[in-house]
């Protein structure tokens, strides 16, 4: 099978790495890719948001499967264009991707499907926003309705700041605050059958101890030794299957990766958000533990044959990923700095480096090219060992001004 992956971050590098290890994959392509992906796949320049361009590239390459990584192409209808060209695609239609593209749409689907989530109001005026904030009280949660690349959500006890965020967005969802730890649970679906993956947890804040600004994610780990037994089954039954059934009932069946961001609150499990694609950086740790070859799993989603898939096989051990970000991330990331020590980081075979924002210069040096630069990932018998290996690898890498959290998976490993 020839596979084309769309995207160019660490999530796509993780997907490409797993696909490159699948004996069923005879050719692997990625567009646009990055310097790390180029080591395992042929990379092609493409406008990821242009469905016609992506479909044409897939046709030219003779791809038997296209995997769309990021949310923006999905919401822009890239999966529809590829599907219309008769090529199997992993990823939902633009209509189904509204589950991530519009928070108001997601709330509507959850209400119809009886899925537990925060109570909320959709507001378009300052007066509506003020009323909603006062209805719930502090801490306030104000979410931009549309895609905002992880920057659309403000959680604050400052009523003025909450109002200001609402005023800066055209339409917001204001909702009750959910306490309790967060869990990311991914599921592969073909629109009918739902196959959950292993849960993971990510770290959204920039600094140790969950301080500092929100980011795209600074690290992740899996499994979650502290999670209640039966969590995956419960979420499958109360969240994932009803959501997939509701979307199919509406005529907008969702196939691809359904990502449930959950809060385990004192009053039970609640959905914080849905995403329509693999999460970054959780994908790095979830795929590091998946033993079943990946291409067949993704193709079964694209083909609608997930009901025939053998149960997934998982590594019993643990995986940890630590994001190395550039100086100034997330506010004003500095790019163009050389990265040293990449080979050394992987030398003892216990860790691997996934590239997020990198590019190669004419001399073949790898330069930083984005806010999140690398996802340094390791597996081990348990979280403590995976952590130790990931941080040992991080220590061998040098990037001027580079920053990373030192407490990824720390609490879970020592609990």
Q: Is 204 in the site for ligand AMP (CB under 6 A)?
A: yes
Site stretch for ligand AMP (CB under 6 A), options 20-28, 172-180, 189-197, 393-401: 172-180
Compute the distance between CA of residue 384 and CA of residue 165 in angstroms, rounded to an integer: 39
DSSP 8-state symbol, 70:
S
Compute the distance between CA of residue 85 and CA of residue 155 in angstroms, rounded to an integer: 43
Q: Is 178 in the site for ligand AMP (CB under 6 A)?
A: yes
Residue of 261, 304, 317, 341 interacting with ligand AMP (CB under 6 A)? 261
> Closer to ligand AMP at the Cβ: 145 or 273?
273
In contact, 118 and 178? CB cutoff 8 Å:
yes
Site stretch for ligand AMP (CB under 6 A), options 87-95, 173-181, 350-358, 393-401: 173-181
Please choose, from the candidates 151, 150, 249, 238, the residue with its C-alpha nearest in 3D space to the C-alpha of residue 192: 249
Residue of 38, 130, 155, 227 interacting with ligand AMP (CB under 6 A)? 155
Please choose, from the candidates 204, 352, 203, the residue with its C-alpha nearest in 3D space to the C-alpha of residue 287: 352
Q: How far is the CB of 118 from ligand AMP (least distance, A)?
A: 4
Site stretch for ligand AMP (CB under 6 A), options 177-185, 220-228, 247-255, 386-394: 177-185
DSSP 8-state symbol, 338:
B
Count of residues of this chain found to bind ligand AMP when the rule CB under 6 A is applied: 13
Compute the distance between CA of residue 40 and CA of residue 44 in angstroms, rounded to an integer: 13
Compute the distance between CA of residue 382 and CA of residue 282 in angstroms, rounded to an integer: 17
> Closer to ligand AMP at the Cβ: 52 or 111?
111
Preceding omega of 32 cis (within 30 degrees of 0) = yes
Site string for ligand AMP, 37-76 (x = CB under 6 A): ----------------------------------------
Per CB under 6 A, contacts with ligand AMP among 85-144 are 118, 141, 143
> What is the phi/psi pair of residue 334, to 5°?
-95, 135
Q: Is 262 in the site for ligand AMP (CB under 6 A)?
A: no
Q: How far is the CB of 202 from ligand AMP (least distance, A)?
A: 8
Q: Check the CA dihedral 102-108-111-114 and report its sign.
A: negative
Sheet with 201-202, strands from edge to edge, namely 201-202, 219-222, 318-325, 372-380, 351-355
Q: Is 177 in the site for ligand AMP (CB under 6 A)?
A: yes
Compute the distance between CA of residue 122 and CA of residue 310 in angstroms, rounded to an integer: 42
> Closer to ligand AMP at the Cβ: 108 or 385?
108
Q: Is 384 in the site for ligand AMP (CB under 6 A)?
A: no
Where would I find the beta strands (DSSP E) of 78-164? Answer: 89-90, 120-123, 140-144, 153-156
Residues that bind ligand AMP (CB under 6 A): 118, 141, 143, 153, 155, 175, 177-178, 182, 204, 261, 272-273
């Amino acid at each position: 099978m020839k596979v084309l992956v769309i995207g160019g971050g660490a999530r796509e590098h993780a997907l490409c790495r797993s696909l490159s290890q699948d004996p069923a994959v005879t050719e692997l392509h990625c567009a646009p890719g990055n310097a790390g992906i180029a080591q395992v796949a042929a990379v092609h320049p493409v406008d990821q948001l242009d469905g016609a361009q992506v479909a044409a590239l897939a046709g030219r390459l003779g791809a038997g499967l296209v995997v769309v990584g990021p949310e923006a192409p999905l919401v822009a209808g890239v999966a529809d264009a590829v599907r219309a060209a008769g090529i199997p695609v992993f990823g939902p239609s633009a209509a189904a991707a509204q589950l991530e593209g519009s928070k108001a749409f997601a709330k509507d689907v959850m209400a119809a499907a009886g899925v537990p989530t925060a109570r909320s109001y959709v507001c378009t005026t300052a007066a509506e926003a003020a009323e909603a904030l006062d209805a719930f009280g502090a801490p306030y949660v104000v979410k931009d309705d549309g895609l905002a690349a992880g920057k659309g959500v403000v959680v604050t006890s400052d009523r003025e700041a909450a109002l200001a965020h609402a005023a800066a967005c055209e339409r917001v969802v204001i909702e009750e605050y959910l306490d309790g730890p967060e869990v990311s649970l991914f599921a592969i679906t073909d629109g009918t059958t739902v196959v959950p993956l292993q849960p993971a947890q990510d770290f959204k804040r920039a600094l140790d101890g969950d301080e500092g600004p929100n980011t795209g994610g600074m690290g992740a780990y899996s499994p979650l030794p502290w999670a209640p037994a039966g969590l995956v089954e419960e979420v499958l039954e109360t969240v994932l299957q009803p959501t997939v059934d509701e979307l199919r009932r509406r005529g907008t069946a969702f196939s691809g990766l359904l990502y449930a961001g959950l809060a385990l609150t004192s009053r039970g499990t609640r959905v914080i958000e849905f995403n329509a694609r693999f999460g970054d950086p959780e994908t790095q740790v979830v795929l590091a533990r998946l033993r079943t070859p990946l291409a067949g799993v993704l193709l079964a989603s694209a083909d609608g044959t997930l009901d025939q898939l053998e149960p997934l096989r998982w590594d019993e051990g643990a995986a940890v990923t630590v994001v190395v970000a550039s100086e100034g991330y997330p506010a004003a990331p500095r790019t163009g700095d050389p990265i040293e020590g990449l080979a050394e980081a992987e030398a003892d075979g216990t860790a691997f480096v996934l590239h997020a924002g990198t590019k190669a210069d004419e001399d073949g040096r790898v330069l930083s090219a984005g806010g999140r630069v690398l996802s340094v990932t390791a597996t081990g018998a348990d979280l403590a060992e995976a952590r130790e290996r990931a941080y040992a690898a991080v220590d061998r890498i040098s990037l001027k001004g580079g920053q990373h959290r030192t407490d990824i998976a720390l609490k879970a490993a020592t609990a």
